[in-house]
Chains A and B, each alone.
Chain A
Amino acid sequence: MLGITGDLALRIAKYYALAFILLLPLPLAGDYVTHLAIMIMLYSITAASLDILVGYTGRLSLGHAAFYAIGAYTSTLLSMNLGVSPWVGILAGGMLASLFGLVLGIPSLKLRGPYLAISTLGFGVIVQLMLINLDWLTRGPLGIPGIPPLPGGPLDLRSKFSFYYVALMLTSVAVYTLHMISRSRIGKVLMSIREDEDAALSVGVNVPLFKVLAFIISTFFAGLSGGLYAHYIRYISPAMSALSESISILSMTIIGGFGTLTGPLMGAAMLTILQELLRPYLEYRYLIYGALIVIVMKFFPSGIYGFVQFLSRKVRG
């Protein structure tokens, strides 16, 4: 029993350790590259967390950015108003986000396809409107500037250089945890729900419980990355919960290749870099971005990761 899962865990852990070591010297390339790498990592957590919901459970969400925003606001408000340590705040942000995930997950149990997409979209819009209109708490559309940085003991985490290593560590842990969840019994049950809900029900799977669980897990990690973002950029605004943010996260998950966890990581990296590369062509940026989504979805529905797998199979013969 322990043998199989233990071996697997060891093998996965080796890959993560390797990736970790490979990424270690990146900040030497300068502040700009470091910042980009940090953003990619934050988006990686969010896109991978959405994959639990979309890729593994087959529930489409167009409101994932709302949980990201909830995490960011929770941690910010706790640390600024109550003097709570940002580390505790980030954790609390994840927990509050997953509480909202539970609140959204229960009524969404019976919904699927476009119905679920629009309900989650509505949730995102409502959260954004709340953040805008509850201005005694959130300062409304102005957003909150001057958020305290993460306390890092001897390290000054205001510098991109040192934040990079903290982010790398936390992202590795978060993605590894998501990976282990997806490989565990929970992940397998979620996939069985995706493949055939009725069949899963008929063999005694508690389908509603696991669907809600998928919401809780997914939104928890989205909240965490939102909190990290808040203490990194040190400015947040209601725009974090905008539909365009949710769509951008969903694009990363799906274009990368959903249901794989590795895909969303690739998607986060590719789309973030693409956005940067397209920055000089300011006006045409979204033209190319939109066209890319259409082309990938039309010709490579299993995403970039699926395409890479296809190529590697070809090469091996």
Chain B
Amino acid sequence: MQPTLFIEQTILGLMMGGIYAAVGVGLTMIFGVMRLSNFAHGEFYMLGAFLTYALVMALGGDPYLLAPLSAIAVGLVGIALNKLVFLSLYKELREAKGAAAFFFQDLRFIMLTIGLSILLVDLALVVWGPIPIAIPSVFTSHIVRLPGGLSFSLARIMAFIVATISLIVLYTFLKITKTGKAIRATSQNPSAAALVGINTYRIYDVTMFISTSLAALSGSILGPIYNVYPTMGLDVVAKAFVVVITGGMGNLMGSILAGFLIGLAESWGGLFFGTEYRQVVAFLIMILVLWFRPRGILGGRS
């Protein structure tokens, strides 16, 4: 095998890993704070990409500039759905007792998010149609050539940079701001957090906003590289769950690490076993991690 190809695939894998990390972090935050396995997470990724496309068409300009706008809009959709669908159930959940009750709640929430996912995919189908769309960007055609015969499109580099910056911003936000600390407190122990005066339901809204807008941002910045289509979120949500479980559910750093790990493994797996087995590689890693460290590489909650 050519060493150039190997290095190129390694770098591409790491770049993809950055996106996986961003999508995974949003998913793991929702689980950590709200105990919600959000199977509709990929749909926010998809909505973000489509909104960015709509904005580019309406306003002109580059998707990389308009992505934050669409991320905020999708974040607001996330809050609205949270208030509309989940909030009353959380109030109900407070009174639930016993393992079976929790299982039923879990199942109910998972089915709710699956229903939302089906609904949102079809909504996108009705509005934008089934044909994959490419978001035009000046960065896609720019190829950056590095010494040693390596070359990457500027769009990929941009996507990686945006993903990394958003992760750093989020990390700092959670570490130093008051709201960030409140989110972490709610994640650690919701009733204790409520006891010291944190409005946990508001924290749920904030978490939902961060999580969905992060997913939307990821969708937007990948839009110019891959195509945008209604079922794009379904391919991503499975990957995102693999990342989250590998890293430990509810563990932010775990998800970031696992995002890069899975990105890299997929790239290498595609190189060694053929691209048709890329997806299997990700699942195999997850199964191995579950076997040897059931709570993920950095530990998570059950």
CA distance A54 to B110 in the complex (A): 13
Known: A113-B37, A283-B122, A287-B126. A129 touches B99 (CB 8 A): no
Q: How far is the CB of A310 from chain B (nearest CB, A)?
A: 16
Query: In the complex, how many residues of chain B place their beta carbon closer than 8 angstroms to a beta carbon of chain A?
Result: 45
A196 interface hit (Cβ, 8 Å): yes
Question: In the bound complex, do residue A115 and residue B98 qualify as a contact, i.e. CB atoms below 8 Å apart?
Answer: no
B297 interface hit (Cβ, 8 Å): no
Among B212-260, those with CB < 8 Å from A are 234, 238, 241-242, 245, 249
Question: In the bound complex, do residue A298 and residue B123 qualify as a contact, i.e. CB atoms below 8 Å apart?
Answer: no
Question: In the bound complex, do residue B103 and residue A58 qualify as a contact, i.e. CB atoms below 8 Å apart?
Answer: yes
CA distance A258 to B122 in the complex (A): 26
A99 interface hit (Cβ, 8 Å): no
Return the contact of A121 from the options B100, B115, B125, B238 (Cβ within 8 A).
B238
Known: A118-B245, A125-B238, A297-B115. A290 touches B100 (CB 8 A): no
Question: In the bound complex, do residue A195 and residue B100 qualify as a contact, i.e. CB atoms below 8 Å apart?
Answer: yes
Most buried by A among B111, B121, B277, B294: B111
Contact with A along B131-163 (1 / 0, CB 8 A): 000000000000000000000000000000000
Return the contact of A114 from the options B37, B111, B120, B277 (Cβ within 8 A).
B37
Question: In the bound complex, do residue A284 and residue B126 qualify as a contact, i.e. CB atoms below 8 Å apart?
Answer: yes
Tell me which residues across on chain A come within 8 A of B193, comparing CB atoms: none
Q: Which of B17-25, B176-184, B278-286 contacts A (4 or more CB under 8 A)?
A: B278-286
Among A247-306, those with CB < 8 Å from B are 247, 250-251, 254-255, 258, 283-287, 289-294, 297-298, 301
Question: In the bound complex, do residue B238 and residue A197 qualify as a contact, i.e. CB atoms below 8 Å apart?
Answer: no
B290 interface hit (Cβ, 8 Å): yes
Q: How far is the CB of B281 from chain A (nearest CB, A)?
A: 11
A133 interface hit (Cβ, 8 Å): yes
Q: How far is the CB of B285 from chain A (nearest CB, A)?
A: 10
Closest to A195 in B: B100
A145 interface hit (Cβ, 8 Å): no
Q: How far is the CB of B181 from chain A (nearest CB, A)?
A: 26
Question: In the bound complex, do residue A58 and residue B100 qualify as a contact, i.e. CB atoms below 8 Å apart?
Answer: yes
Question: In the bound complex, do residue B241 and residue A107 qualify as a contact, i.e. CB atoms below 8 Å apart?
Answer: no
Question: In the bound complex, do residue B294 and residue A107 qualify as a contact, i.e. CB atoms below 8 Å apart?
Answer: no
Question: In the bound complex, do residue A194 and residue B118 qualify as a contact, i.e. CB atoms below 8 Å apart?
Answer: no
Among B259-292, those with CB < 8 Å from A are 276-277, 279-280, 283, 286-287, 290-291
Return the contact of A110 from the options B85, B110, B294 (Cβ within 8 A).
B294
Question: In the bound complex, do residue A286 and residue B98 qualify as a contact, i.e. CB atoms below 8 Å apart?
Answer: no
B206 interface hit (Cβ, 8 Å): no
A117 interface hit (Cβ, 8 Å): yes
Q: How far is the CB of B119 from chain A (nearest CB, A)?
A: 3
Q: How far is the CB of B199 from chain A (nearest CB, A)?
A: 23
Known: A58-B103, A290-B120. A115 touches B249 (CB 8 A): yes
CA distance A313 to B51 in the complex (A): 48
A183 interface hit (Cβ, 8 Å): no
Tell me which residues across on chain B come within 8 A of A195, comparing CB atoms: 98-100
With A58-B103, A107-B290, A287-B123 given, can you name 19 additional A-B contacts, CB distance below 8 Å? A60-B110, A113-B37, A115-B294, A115-B302, A122-B283, A129-B276, A196-B98, A196-B99, A198-B99, A247-B114, A251-B111, A286-B118, A286-B119, A290-B120, A290-B122, A291-B115, A293-B118, A294-B119, A298-B112
